[in-house]
């Protein structure tokens, strides 16, 4: 008869360690994907009134926007330099532009405090429901573009201030 003295606690401990290592690997993979910068995301979207598909490219935040003095001017530069590429999906672009125009006007009225606009955009992103239509998808992507533009404006202003401080030291 074989020895049946298997230590169940060690066996369970080994299984739990393996599960933890698998979960850690999954989360590290997700973190690496999350930290990657996506320049162009192409997605096939079905138009609501036809059975055709269209390729939609998300616009990218520009690297250079020209000169600026305030955060609002940097934000305006990012918004003004939006490039839609060769996307021929007019409904998507219309939705995207509507989101940009809405928050550009809002930012213009609150140009001294863009943190208010950031909060409003975040709230609308969180409240936004399904987006199965091209216009809704464009509007939703436009909200994210506005959020990225607000963050980019902060980065640009901080970089400019940092270079001025270093130059004066």
Average pLDDT, consecutive stretches of 10 residues, N- to C-terminus, the chain (169 residues): 64 69 58 43 45 66 80 88 74 90 91 89 86 86 92 89 88
Residue 78's domain spans which residues?
41-168
Give the H/E segment covering residue 57.
Answer: strand 53-57
In a domain, 31, yes or no: no
Strands 53-57 and 42-46: antiparallel
In a domain, 150, yes or no: yes
In a domain, 5, yes or no: no
Q: Which contacts (CB < 8 Å, 24+ apart) does range 105-112 have? A: 107/72, 107/75, 107/76, 108/72, 111/70, 111/72, 112/72
pLDDT at 99: 92
d(CA 98, CA 104): 10
Going from the C-alpha of 57 to that of each of 66, 98, 165, the distances in angstroms are 24, 17, 39
Domain total for the chain? 1
In a domain, 92, yes or no: yes
d(CA 162, CA 150): 18
In a domain, 84, yes or no: yes
SS3 state of residue 163: helix
């Amino acid at each position: 008869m074989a020895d049946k003295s298997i230590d169940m606690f060690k066996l369970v401990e080994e299984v739990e360690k393996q599960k933890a290592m698998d979960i850690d690997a999954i989360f590290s993979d997700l973190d690496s994907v999350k930290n990657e910068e996506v320049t162009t995301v192409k997605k096939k979207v079905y138009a609501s009134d036809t059975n055709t598909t269209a390729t939609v490219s998300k616009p990218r935040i520009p690297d250079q926007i020209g000169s600026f003095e305030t955060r609002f001017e940097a934000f305006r530069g990012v918004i003004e330099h939006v490039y839609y590429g060769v996307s021929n999906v007019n409904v998507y672009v219309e939705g995207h532009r509507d989101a940009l125009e809405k928050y550009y006007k809002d930012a213009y009225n609150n140009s001294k405090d863009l943190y208010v606009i950031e909060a409003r955009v975040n709230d609308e992103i969180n409240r936004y429901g399904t987006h199965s239509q091209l216009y809704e998808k464009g509007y939703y992507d436009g909200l994210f573009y506005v959020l990225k533009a607000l963050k980019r404006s902060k980065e640009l202003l901080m970089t400019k201030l940092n270079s001025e401080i270093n130059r004066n030291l």
